[in-house]
Amino acid sequence: MGQINSFPSTMATVNEATKAPLTGYNHIDALLDNGPGWNYVMPSAGNVISYTFSTASGMQTGNNSLRGAPSAFSFAQQAATRDTLAYVSQVTGIRFQETGVGSDAQVHFSNADLTEPQYSGLCSWNVEYSYMPDNQLADFKPGAYIYLDNVQWGSQNASLNGGPGGETLLHEIGHMLGLKHPFEGAIQLPSDTDSTAYTLMSYTDAGGPYTTYSPYDLAALNWLYGGDGLGGALGINSVRGGRYLTGTAGNDTLTAGGANDRLEGGGGNDVLNGGAGIDSAYFAGGRAGHSVAVANGVVTVTDLQGSGGSDTLSGVERLNFGGASYAVDIAGNGGKAYRIYQAAFDRAPDSVGLGFWLKALDDGVTLRQVANDFIGSPEFGKLYGTNVSNFDFITRLYSNILHRTPDQSGFNFWLDALNGNVTTRDAILADFSESPENQAQVIGAIQNGFEYTPYG
């Protein structure tokens, strides 16, 4: 059991950039180092980390862990490293850009004779920064050097396509990205999870050699980078303060903050608390393999086929099943988007259009503004007519939305309001859409969520 908290993004200080951004959850915090801090690079190069295989310039000096000068990776090692970085890019969202000029690179790859015989690889990182009197960063420039031993471990490291050499490369890249050994520092993994089956940052082999990161590595990288890279919507120092919180195979409690967060419980019976913002919960496998029940704002998602357990969600507005998106905020923007679509066009929304207008509402567009755009659409004109009178407009609202003839008192109320310029057609359409009568008609189709295609 555990709890993860997320925190809003603020202007970066030295302390924030040079201290591990802890979650309060052991399986992540035990892997978080105090740097290098790629999320804080200033001046920013965007979502890019540059790397090189060149040993002609920009090389590290004074590293006593090396005997002699480093040597260049072979062509085979270079090709395998590019493939590995492509995989890491898929995991983190960071774009890795190769340069042939060593002095221009942030990350350097080379072979070296490491002085410690038990080390098959080494990552050495450093940070240069300056700050203003209020402790706010003025510039922040991390760099890293990844060495693979070419003497004691030379045969193993000659091939990085799978095998132990490839796992070593992933381990050292993990250090470069801000991960530490789980047995070092104040926060450590318990002995039963300190193995490569849980994290490639461990020195205790369990299975393998591995060609991808293990579950705890992925959880830590999700927390650091949010899956959408540097300066994205998620991750540390993200533009909107969102966090990507990942649980374990056991029973977890994940608690997000006030931003638009992503929660992924994993196996077991999890409790996911979204808090404020538009929060999403992600599940492995398709919607058909899960049951979803929404009651009093609480969503229960049960895995019907695997080991996902039964998760209880509160403050979570959206679900994702194997890439398919569903809205479960029936009283919120999700329900409003569906109802205004149904009300305006007297039909179930199409998934793409629904996703567009749902995003508009999430971004702060009012329901009345959506109604106004719908009224100006060709489809609305075909259904209601063009240049229609207030009398006919209200009559058709009753027919198309509530599917009945108007009651006289209600009809008179709306007609007098329109004729007296007390209200407008877009406001009335929005009011009809959110009326208890229309909500009762629509609830059967959306009470346990509905699918949409995300926009943008």
Place of tokens 């702060």: 364
**Confidence tier at 308 by pLDDT (50, 70, 90):** confident
48-81 residues labelled b (16+ CB within 10 A) or e (exposed): bbbbbbbbeebbbeeeeebeeebeebbeebeebb
How far is it, in rounded angstroms, from Cα 269 to Cα 258? 24
**Is residue 159 located within the same domain as residue 266?**
no
Q: Considering the domain boundaries, does residue 130 fall inside one?
A: yes
**Confidence tier at 456 by pLDDT (50, 70, 90):** confident
Instruction: Supply the CATH number for residue 31's domain.
Output: 3.40.390.10
Q: Considering the domain boundaries, does residue 192 fall inside one?
A: yes
Other CB atoms within a 10 A radius of the CB of residue 328 amount to 24
**pLDDT over 70 percentage in the chain:** 98
Q: Considering the domain boundaries, does residue 422 fall inside one?
A: yes
**Is residue 285 located within the same domain as residue 355?**
no
pLDDT tens for residues 73-121? 999 999 999 999 999 999 999 999 999 999 999 999 999 999 999 999 9
**Confidence tier at 306 by pLDDT (50, 70, 90):** confident
How far is it, in rounded angstroms, from Cα 142 to Cα 372? 50
**Is residue 255 located within the same domain as residue 307?**
yes
Cβ–Cβ < 8 Å for 334, 358: yes
**Is residue 343 located within the same domain as residue 308?**
no
**Confidence tier at 5 by pLDDT (50, 70, 90):** very low
Q: Considering the domain boundaries, does residue 6 fall inside one?
A: no
* DSSP code string of 11-28: --BHHHHHS----S-HHH
Structural tokens at position 51: 């790397």
**Confidence tier at 198 by pLDDT (50, 70, 90):** very high
Q: Considering the domain boundaries, does residue 32 fall inside one?
A: yes
Q: At residue 8, does pLDDT exceed 50?
A: no
Q: What is the DSSP letter of 144?
A: E
Q: At residue 1, does pLDDT exceed 50?
A: no
**Is residue 69 located within the same domain as residue 117?**
yes
**Confidence tier at 9 by pLDDT (50, 70, 90):** very low
**pLDDT over 90 percentage in the chain:** 94
**Is residue 299 located within the same domain as residue 349?**
no
Give me the amino acid identity at 320. Answer: N
Domain with 55 in it: 24-224
Work out how many domains the chain is built from and give that number: 3
Q: Largest Cα–Cα distance in the chain?
A: 94
**Is residue 203 located within the same domain as residue 73?**
yes
Q: Considering the domain boundaries, does residue 240 fall inside one?
A: no
pLDDT tens for residues 406-421? 999 999 999 999 999 9
**Is residue 363 located within the same domain as residue 422?**
yes
Instruction: Supply the CATH number for residue 424's domain.
Output: 1.10.3130
**Is residue 117 located within the same domain as residue 184?**
yes
- Mean pLDDT rounded to a whole number for the chain: 96
Mean pLDDT along residues 143-163 = 97
Tell me which of 265, 296, 327 is where a domain ends: 327
Q: Would you state the pLDDT for residue 16?
A: 94
How far is it, in rounded angstroms, from Cα 246 to Cα 226? 10
Rg (CA), the chain: 28
**Is residue 319 located within the same domain as residue 279?**
yes
Tell me which of 275, 310, 327 is where a domain ends: 327
Cβ–Cβ < 8 Å for 238, 47: no
How far is it, in rounded angstroms, from Cα 310 to Cα 251? 10
**Is residue 339 located within the same domain as residue 414?**
yes
**Is residue 102 located within the same domain as residue 215?**
yes
Q: At residue 4, does pLDDT exceed 60?
A: no
pLDDT tens for residues 264-292? 999 999 999 999 999 999 999 999 999 99
Q: At residue 300, does pLDDT exceed 90?
A: yes
Q: Would you state the pLDDT for residue 257?
A: 87
